[in-house]
Amino acid sequence: MDLSAINPILLLASLMVAATPILLAAIGELVVERAGVLNLGVEGMMITGAVCGFIVATATGSPWLGFLGAALGGALLSLLFGLLTQFLLSNQVATGLALTLFGLGLSALMGQSYLGIRAPAFPDIHIPLLGDIPVVGPIVFQHDPMVYVGLGIVAGVWWFLNRTRGGLILRAVGENHDAAHALGYHVRRTRMLAITFGGACAGLGGAYLSLVRVPQWTEGMTAGAGWIALAIVVFASWKPGRLVLGAYLFGGVTVLQLNLQAAGVAVPVEYLSMSPYLATIAVLVIMSTGRAPGSLGRIFHAAR
């Protein structure tokens, strides 16, 4: 074993990359949950996004179009969830699970003829000046554009939730849907929009896996990333700022265990690969004090 083979700068740099898919999926789910909807189908939407993104990107040769296709794919799948839970008033937990099972099957079917192909390259950008700063530059400012798009979405969500009237209404719907309805806000419409946004973000997160991180398509490649995203939303107490912290913490654990594997630590690979999941459980235990949105997971039916 040779721990000195681990380059701390590279490790920290890859942390941001490892965290990005989770961050993207989690920020979408955060908006969904703030609107009072619990969509457990993140894993299914992510993997559908992964395959859609991969198909579009290889067909067009453009990773950007791939990401667009992934967002559309994820959003379309989430509309199915929205239709069932918001209009047919089905149980959100069960429907979310169904969405995950459905998405896993759908993506496997769609991706059959794309196994073993490499995704078109998605080069890193080198941000002038900032990227040249020693140590900090390579860690923070020399990644592919989606890393920054992800952070931009988080910042945008924070601004939307805390600084705009739309965000206020969305929070109100999530906090008490009966009161929001009584004041004349459109609970269903608000929630459908949130669900669609969540689906699109999950799709982006999935595509980041298939187009950048791996980058190729394999069945079941999300390997629980969607569930971890759900856990990170709880960890973050439904606050965008803390979401970044949670995702990077998770990214750190993932990258560290990969580096330890590469460095040949005397622990079998199988045990090391458990660590992200165990870390997630630990995080859930430590951070289970946040207050969830008041109407989270409850069925809204405007009676009388």
Partner 1 sequence: MRETLLALDGLTKAYPGVVANRDVSFRIGRGEIHALLGENGAGKSTLVKTIYGLVKPDAGTMTLNGAGFAPADPGAARRAGVAMVFQHFSLFDAMTVAENIVLGMDNPPSPRAIAGEVRRVSQLYGLPLDPERIVGDLSAGERQRVEIVRCLLQDPKLLIMDEPTSVLTPQEVEILFTTLRKLAAEGTAILYISHKLSEIAALCDTATVLRQGQVVATCDPRQTAPREMAELMVGAVLQSPVRAARPEGPVLLRLRGLTAPAPHRFGTALKGIDLTLRGGEVLGIGGVAGNGQDELVAALSGEMPVAPGMVRLAEAEVGDLGVNARRAAGLLCGPEERLGHAAAPDMTLTENALMTGVGRMGLDRRGFLRWPAARDFARKVIAEFDVRTPGPENTARSLSGGNLQKFVIGREILQAPRVLVVNQPTWGVDAAAAAAIRQALLTLADRGVAVIVISQDLDELMEVSDRFCALTDGRLSASRPARGLTVDEIGMMLGGAHDLEVAHV
Partner 2 sequence: MIVLDKRPQPSRLWSYAAPVLAVVLTMLVGGVLFAALGKNPVAVIRTIFLDPLFSEFAWFYRPQLLIKGAPLVLIAVGLSFGFRAGIWNIGAEGQYIIGALCGAAVGLALYPAETRWIFPLMIVAGAFGGWVWAMIPGVLKVKFGTNEILVSLMLVYVAESLLAAMALGPMKNPDGMGFPGSRNLAQYPSAANLELVAGTGLHWGVVAALIAVIFAYVVLARHIFGFQVRLAGQAPRAARFAGVDPARMVLICMGLSGALAGMAGLFEVAGPAGQVTIDFNVGYGFTAIIVAFLGRLHPVGILLAGGLMALTYIGGGIAQSNLGLPAAAISLLQGMLLFFLLAVDVLTHYRVRFAARKVA
Interface residue list for partner 2 (CB under 8 A): 40, 80, 83-84, 88-91, 93-95, 97-99, 101-106, 108-109, 112, 219, 223-224, 227-228, 230-231, 234, 268, 270-271, 273-274, 277-278, 280-281, 284-285, 288-289, 301, 303
Say how far apart CA 187 and CA 207 lie, in whole Å. 30
CB of residue 301 to partner 1, shortest distance in Å: 13
Least distance between partner 2 and beta carbon 11 (Å):
22
| Contacted by 273, from partner 1, partner 2, none: CB < 5 to 8 Å by type | partner 2
Which residue do the tokens 């394999």 mark?
Answer: 218
Is the Cβ of residue 116 or residue 184 nearer to partner 1 in the bound state? 184
Which position among 62, 176, 218, 273 is part of the footprint of partner 1 (CB under 8 A)? 176
Among 59, 136, 179, 263, binds partner 1 (CB under 8 A): 179
Least Å from the CB of residue 69 to partner 2: 19
**Which residues 7-46 are close enough to bind partner 1 by CB under 8 A?**
none
| 165 contacts partner 1 (rule: CB under 8 A) | yes
Sequential DSSP letters for 94-158: HHHHHHHHHHHHHHHHHTGGGBTPBPPP-PPP--TTGGGSTTHHHHHSSS-HHHHHHHHHHHHHH
Using CA atoms, how far apart are residues 79 and 66, in angstroms rounded to an integer? 20
Q: Is 291 in the site for partner 1 (CB under 8 A)?
A: yes
- Supply the DSSP string of 188-253, one letter for each residue: HHHHHHHHHHHHHHHHHHHHHIIIIIS-BB-TTTTTTHHHHHHHHHHHTTT-HHHHHHHHHHHHHH
The alpha carbon torsion through 69, 74, 75, 79 (nearest 10 deg) reads 140
Question: At 170, which amino acid appears?
Answer: L
**Tokens 């937990």, residue located:** 93
Least separation in angstroms between CB 273 and partner 2: 5
Residue 285: count other Cβ atoms within 10 Å of its Cβ: 8
Of 122-130, 142-150, 177-185, 274-282, the segment contacting partner 1 by CB under 8 A is: 177-185
Q: Which residue, 2 or 270, has its beta carbon nearer to partner 2? A: 270
Residues at the site binding partner 1, with contacts judged by CB under 8 A: 165, 168-169, 171-172, 175-176, 178-185, 291, 293-294, 304
